[in-house]
């Protein structure tokens, strides 16, 4: 297993209420030239969690940090006009906390941050670093 010291939280940058699957995101990423879906986990609108890229493989989600990180993405992150908006459903909020706690237990000392902390983007449309600092 590779060394993990960071979890980066993302959004799919899709409009509020539009559900997508890990296979949809995989298709988008393959069209962009990735070898697979870039994220390790996708949290759907109903709170279900779909596995993406194998944890043993570095992701393709945060330039300069893929080797040592896990990419966690929730579906949404935009309003109907594609402006950044925290669109997490109550089920997604709960599932994200459970998943992030599980990953922190598996990888002690891991830091949780939002994609926006490493790129000039709004992603994940909320301050993940602040929100998850006490997990």
Q: What 3-state DSSP class applies to 118?
A: coil
Strand order of the β-sheet with 41-43 is 49-51, 41-43, 69-74, 6-11, 111-114
CA 67, CA 6: separation in Å to the nearest integer? 10
Residues annotated as catalytic are 10, 39, 115, 121, 123
């Amino acid at each position: 297993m590779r060394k993990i010291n960071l979890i980066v939280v993302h959004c799919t940058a899709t409009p509020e209420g539009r559900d997508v699957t890990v296979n949809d995101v995989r298709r988008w990423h393959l069209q962009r030239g990735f070898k697979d879906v870039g994220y390790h986990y996708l949290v759907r609108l109903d709170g279900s969690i779909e596995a993406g890229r194998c944890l043993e493989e570095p992701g393709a989600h945060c330039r300069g940090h893929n080797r040592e990180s896990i990419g966690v993405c929730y579906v949404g992150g935009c309003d109907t006009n594609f402006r950044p908006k925290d669109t997490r459903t109550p089920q997604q909020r709960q599932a994200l906390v459970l998943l992030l706690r599980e990953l922190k237990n598996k990888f002690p000392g891991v830091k949780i941050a939002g994609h926006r902390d490493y790129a000039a983007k709004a992603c994940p449309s909320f301050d993940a670093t602040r929100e998850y600092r006490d997990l």
